[in-house]
Amino acid sequence: MRALKVVLGLVGLVFLASAWPLVLFIRADPALSMMFSLYVTLGVFLLLAMRNPWENRALIAFAAWSSLAHAVVMGFQAFRNMVSRVELAGVALLVVIGMALIALAPAPAVATSTTASTC
């Protein structure tokens, strides 16, 4: 659980740091700024999830799978020369984030069945 909290903190801070490019690109590339705003927001909630990761399993799963989905789209765009190949560094970072969160995500509680016989 400690490793997950460290990863949540690091990922939260990385996503929160995207506030800087959000401000830089707000006029030049509004769509990019809008995407960064989602990551800043997700970063805040990942930092809050550090308190009790088990209660925030859905948020952690969303952060993991959305990071992997973003990496797939960005990777496809880079290999099709739709965006610069420099973007592959971001792809690698998002894959590492997604895989780390999936690997460390808390498992759902196992329901124990109690059998009560009623007559």
The per-residue pLDDT for range 35-84, each reduced to its tens digit, is 999 999 999 999 999 999 999 999 999 999 999 999 999 999 999 999 99
- Which H helix or E strand runs over 89? helix 88-104
Say how many residues make up the chain: 119
The per-residue pLDDT for range 72-101, each reduced to its tens digit, is 999 999 999 999 999 999 999 999 999 999
Residue that has been written with the tokens 């959000």 in this structure: 22
Token pair, residue 16, equals: 């929160």
Determine how many CB atoms are found less than 10 A away from the CB of residue 14: 14
Residue that has been written with the tokens 């984030």 in this structure: 97
The Cα-based distances of 22 to 12, 103, 105 in angstroms read 16, 29, 28
Reported pTM = 0.84
**Over pLDDT 90: what percentage of the chain?**
73
Q: What are the structural domain ranges in the chain?
A: 2-104
